[in-house]
Amino acid sequence: EALRTTFAQVDGAPEQRIAPAEASRFHLVQHDLRGRADAEAELGRLMAGEARAPFDLERGPLIRGRLIRLAEADHVLLLTMHHIVSDGWSMGVLTRELGALYGAFRRGEPDPLPGLAVQYADFAAWQRRWVEGDVLREQAEYWTRTLAGAPELLALPTDRPRPAETDHAGAVFRLELDEELTAGLKALSRRHGTTLYMTLLAAWAAVLGRLSGQDDVVIGTPTAGRGRREIEGLIGFFVNTLAVRVDLSGAPTVAELLGRVKERTLGAQHHQDIPFEQVVERVAPARSLSHTPLFQVMFAWQSTPTGAGALLPGLDVGGVGAGPTEVRAKFDLSLTMREADGRIRGGVEYATALFEPETVERYAGYLRAVLGAMAAAEEQRVDGIGLLSRAERRRVLEEWNATGAAYPAGTCVHERFQEQVERAPGATAVVSGEDRLTYAELNARANRLAHYLRGLGVGPDARVALCAERGPEMVVGLLAILKAGGAYVPLDPGHPQERLEYMLRDSAPLAVLTQARIRGRVEGAGVPVLCLDGDAGRWAAEADRNPERGELGPEHLAYVIYTSGSTGAPKGVMIEHRHVCHQVSALQDAFGLTERDRNLQFASVTFDASVEEIFGALLTGAALVLRDDGWLAGPGAFWSRCREHGVTVVSLPTRFWQLLVDEPAATVPACVRLVVIGGEAVDASSLAAWFRREGHRPRLLNTYGPTETTVNATLREVADDPARWRSIGRPLANTRVYVLDGARGPVPVGVAGELYVGGAGVARGYLDRPELTAERFVEDPFAGEPGARMYRTGDLGRWLPDGTVEFLGRNDFQVKIRGFRVELGEIEARLVDHPGVREAVVLARQDAPGEQRLVAYYAGEQTPDADALRAHLLERLPDYMVPAAYVRLERLPVTPSGKLDRQALPAPADGAYARRGYEAPEGQTEQALAEIWAAVLGVERVGRQDSFFELGGHSLLAVQVISRVRQVLEVEVPLRTVFERPRLSQLAQHVLAAQLAQFDPLQIAHLAELVRASAGDAAACP
Q: Could you write out the three-class secondary structure of 820-855? A: EEEEHHHHHHHHHCCCCCCEEEEEEEEEECCEEEEE
Q: Are 475 and 430 in contact, with CB atoms under 8 Å apart? A: yes
For the chain, how far is it from start to end, CA to CA, in angstroms? 54
Residues sharing a CB contact under 8 Å with residue 619, sequence separation 6 or more, in sequence order: 413, 416, 417, 420, 581, 584, 588
Tell me, what's the pLDDT at 823? 64
Beta strands in 568-616 (DSSP E): 571-576, 598-601
Beta strands in 398-522 (DSSP E): 428-432, 435-438, 463-467, 487-491, 511-514
List the one residue out of 420, 280, 73 whose CA is nearest residue 955. 280
Q: In a 3-state reduction of DSSP, which class is residue 368?
A: helix
List the one residue out of 43, 228, 267 whose CA is nearest residue 126. 228
Tell me, what's the pLDDT at 819? 40
Q: Are 649 and 674 in contact, with CB atoms under 8 Å apart? A: yes
Q: In a 3-state reduction of DSSP, which class is residue 349?
A: strand
Tell me, what's the pLDDT at 853? 77
- Count how many residues are written for the chain: 1022
Torsion from C-alpha of 361, 363, 368, 369, nearest 10 degrees: 120
Tell me, what's the pLDDT at 958? 79
Residues sharing a CB contact under 8 Å with residue 325, sequence separation 6 or more, in sequence order: 47, 48, 51, 52
Tell me, what's the pLDDT at 565? 46
| Pairing relationship of beta strands 63-71 and 28-32 according to DSSP bridges | parallel
H-helix or E-strand spanning residue 532:
none
878 upstream amide cis, omega within 30 of 0 = no
Rg (CA), the chain: 36
Distance CA 487, CA 715 (A): 27
Tell me, what's the pLDDT at 308? 47
Report DSSP letters for 428-459, one per residue. Answer: EEEEETTEEEEHHHHHHHHHHHHHHHHHTT--
Burial string for 446-468 (b: 16+ CB within 10 Å, else e) reads bbbbbbbbbebebbbebbbbbbb
Tell me the mean pLDDT per 10 residues along the chain, length 1022. Answer: 92 88 88 94 91 91 95 93 92 91 94 92 87 85 91 89 86 95 96 96 97 93 88 92 95 96 96 90 83 94 63 83 69 94 94 94 96 95 92 96 93 97 98 96 97 96 96 97 98 83 94 94 89 90 94 97 65 96 97 97 92 98 94 89 97 87 89 93 86 93 94 94 86 97 91 95 96 96 94 92 88 58 72 88 71 82 81 70 85 73 81 70 92 85 82 72 86 79 86 80 71 58 47
Tell me, what's the pLDDT at 566? 38
DSSP-derived secondary structure letter, 701? E
* H runs (alpha helix) in 626-681: 635-645, 654-661
Tell me, what's the pLDDT at 229? 85
Distances (CA, A) of 850 to 460, 655, 818, 846: 54, 35, 12, 7
134-137 contacts at long range (C-beta below 8 A, 24 or more positions apart): 135/273, 136/274
CA dihedral sign of residues 475, 480, 483, 485: negative
